[in-house]
Chain A
Amino acid sequence: MEQSWKQAKAAFAIVVAPPTLWLLFFFLVPMAVIWGYSFGENVGLTEIDLTGTFKNYARAIEPLYLGIFWKSIVTAAITTLLCLIVGFPVAMAIAFASPRTKAWLLLLIMLPFWTNLLIRTYALMAVLRTEGYINSTYHLFWNLIGLPPDGFEPLDLLNNNFAVIFGLVYVHLPFMVLPLYSALDRMDRSLMEASLDLGAGHLRTIFTIVVPLAAPGIASGVLITFIPALGAYLTPDLLGGPDSQMIANIIERQFKRANDWPFGAALSFLLMYLTFFAIAAQSWVSRRAERVGR
């Protein structure tokens, strides 16, 4: 018979204590410090006086910063949508592949994680830049089919909003594919067979059977794509153009260039509240899906 943890309190405490302490000291305490800063004021160059002021939050909800928040949300939403559109067929293909192929396909999806994000972003820059791989290939074909050499204009691919979205989709696609795959893989195939047997087409089966059953997987995929995309910092910084700043870039600049930690802390916490909101929405969706499923 399985022993309940209630009957082995000592063992439970020993197992749980290290992670709890770790979380407390390296996560909750630093977060609490930053949260405290968000109610502080700068005194001199390095001191922060915790006065309990709401001034930083008042400044953070000025139209300028709300506009940047909104732009970040839109960018993250477009990224998530594109990841879903690209990721869903990929996840389906993996789920329906033979077990041997499946292992290889999963490996391919996870392969990019073995390389640092910064290096992958620099690699993208090498592909997209004015004299990058895409443009040099384009130039090669331009010359091959005998178009006038003077007329060649390289494509403007880097340092604009397109490059930011492209980079974000590229980086976050695995975050979408993996939860989708795990939802699709668990699904009862007989329901699909029944749908097809009873005369529904493939598309109709996908939209009326597969998508609703995979809803929790879709919701968690959307969530773990949307949240990091919302806080993306490196990608807009390196691939973006003059107007591609996202909220994380503004936060970074408060902590560095502007040397205004309280304001940076307030912006960070607003971002965090948005994240909580997204998580709450996701758990609401999955709870509803569970109830519908029953």
Chain B
Amino acid sequence: MTSDNLRTGGASRRSILRQFGAAAIGMTFAGGVAGCSGPGAAQRVVNFYNWDTYIGPTTLEDFQAAIGASVKMDLFATNDELFAKLRAGNPGYDVIVPSNEFVTRMIQAQMIMPLDHAKIPNIKNLLPDFQDAAFDPGRKYSMPYTWLVLGIGYRKSKMGDVGVPDSWKWVFDSNRFDGKIALLSESADLIRLCAKYKGHSVNDIPDAMVADIEAMLIKQKPFVKVFHEDNGQDLLVSKDVDVVIEYNGDIAQKMREDADIDFVVPKEGSLLNSDTLCIPVGAPHVEDAHAFINYLLDGEVGSKITAEILYPTPNGAARDLMPDTYKNNPVIYPPADVLAKCEYGAFEGAEKASKYEEVITRVRAA
């Protein structure tokens, strides 16, 4: 013992060990709490809080060259994350990208500020359908950035006799793809799609039907591989699953890399979403935030973003600049008869959100 201690320098090793251990434990527990650094007074900057893979490759640099303000972009993965982050006060973001339902929610919670339309002349580029929105009457608070629709992404070679899985049945009510199904983990969206499968609207789902949906999902759960976040397209590409509920653009992006995957909006109809540009209350750079939103709504800028992210654009000027391969792509723009059956989900109050969450918690605990 004594000779050991002499050779390695006595008790120091153990104390070093302890320090190492403490440091390591500290590292493990320190979550990624990356704040938004305060901008220098001399330098113009826009703090942009965006979804992943949701901007053109050079858009931010181009904006800096054109307007003179740099853009610092942080990423979020779900609307809930965005809401939770801003709930306790804006940590310094200037432009955020909430979806339709959350726009209503954030207006109600007074978390986003009215936009000055005079500073956004490019509003004229928006298609007539997007000049106004039910979730934000008069577009007072939000400018549309993209619209998107949920559907089933699938691996063509694994469909066999099913061909095109054009019904929600294949993910909600069938063991045909046992162990190869991924369902969305967003509880409200999942329940709404189940209601659609059962022939109901995505809104005002009666309690009895919610109970039916819960029973159906519990029955389906043994065949489900995973409840996924916003990464369904990756699970499909890595062949972990063969059918997955995802957004059209996410699958369209991956179809560039993998020719064996495809996307369909089921015949029962689906849930539409619209991602919008908003300025949160307390934004430090309101002026440049307006300039940035206006810049993103420019036709040419919009077409460059669209070419990268492959989502449907509400921007008519940007759409006109896109090639026919985009405009006629059935994944990006699903057939009109199916789209006619799709709806936007409305914000139905905090109680309902909490209730849907508990339903999915029960399904997953069952």
Contact = CB atoms under 8 A, between A and B. Distances in A.
A and B interact physically: yes
Interface of A: 42, 44-46, 64, 67-68, 71, 99, 103, 106, 110, 113-114, 116-118, 129-131, 156, 158-159, 174-175, 178, 182, 185, 189, 228, 240-243, 245, 250, 253-260, 263
A129 B237 CA distance: 12
Contacts of B108: 44-45
Contact of A257 (B24, B187, B224, B362): B187
B14 A182 contact: yes
Contact of A106 (B17, B179, B224): B17
Contacts of A131: 238-240
A113 B353 contact: no
Contacts of A253: 357, 361
A149 to B, nearest CB: 16
B237 to A, nearest CB: 10
Nearest to A154: B239
A254 B357 CA distance: 8
8 contacts: A42-B350, A158-B240, A159-B225, A189-B1, A241-B225, A256-B81, A256-B84, A257-B357
State the majority secondary structure of interface residues on B.
helix
Contacts of B23: 113
A67 B365 contact: yes
A243 B363 CA distance: 8
B84 A174 contact: no
B20 A110 contact: yes
Interface string B340-366: 000000000010011001100110111
B328 interface: no
Nearest to A63: B365
B87 interface: yes
B186 interface: yes
A188 to B, nearest CB: 8
A175 B27 CA distance: 13
Nearest to A43: B350
Contacts of A68: 361, 365
Contact of A259 (B1, B8, B21, B83): B83
User: Can you list the 8 inter-chain pairs with the closest CB atoms, starting with the nearest?
Assistant: A113-B24, A258-B357, A45-B109, A256-B80, A159-B226, A257-B80, A242-B224, A46-B109
A239 to B, nearest CB: 10
Given A67-B365, A113-B27, A182-B17, 14 more contacts: A45-B108, A64-B361, A71-B365, A103-B8, A130-B240, A131-B240, A158-B240, A189-B1, A228-B28, A241-B225, A243-B365, A256-B83, A258-B353, A258-B358
B7 interface: yes
B227 interface: yes
**Residue of B25, B187, B364 most packed against chain A (CB within 10 A):** B364
Contacts of B239: 130-131
Interface residues of B, number: 47
Interface in B19-61: 20-21, 23-25, 27-28, 32
Contact of B84 (A67, A182, A259): A259
Contacts of B357: 253-254, 257-258, 260
B290 interface: no
A63 to B, nearest CB: 10
B105 interface: yes
Contact of B225 (A103, A118, A242, A256): A242
Given A44-B109, A67-B365, A113 B28 contact: yes
Contact of B78 (A106, A116, A257): A257
Contacts of B96: none
Of listed B8, B24, B353, residue having the most chain A CB within 10 A: B24
Contact of B365 (A103, A159, A174, A245): A245
B179 to A, nearest CB: 7
B264 to A, nearest CB: 23
A174 B17 CA distance: 12
A119 B24 CA distance: 15
A95 B224 CA distance: 46
A156 B354 CA distance: 33
B238 A130 contact: yes
A165 B348 CA distance: 38
Given A129-B238, A258-B354, A250 B186 contact: no
A250 B361 contact: yes
A174 B221 contact: no
Nearest to A263: B354
Interface in B71-90: 78, 80-81, 83-84, 87
Nearest to B179: A156
Contacts of A114: 24
Nearest to B351: A42
A281 B93 CA distance: 46
Nearest to A233: B31
Given A174-B24, A182-B14, A257-B353, A129 B240 contact: yes
B75 to A, nearest CB: 14
Given A106-B17, A116-B27, A174-B24, A46 B364 contact: no
B111 A245 contact: no
A243 B221 contact: yes
B4 interface: yes
Nearest to B182: A159
Given A67-B365, A99-B8, A46 B111 contact: yes
A100 to B, nearest CB: 9
Contacts of A45: 105, 108-109, 350
Nearest to B8: A99
B241 to A, nearest CB: 9
Contacts of B240: 129-131, 158-159
A217 to B, nearest CB: 12
B27 A243 contact: no
A175 B362 CA distance: 33
B27 A242 contact: no
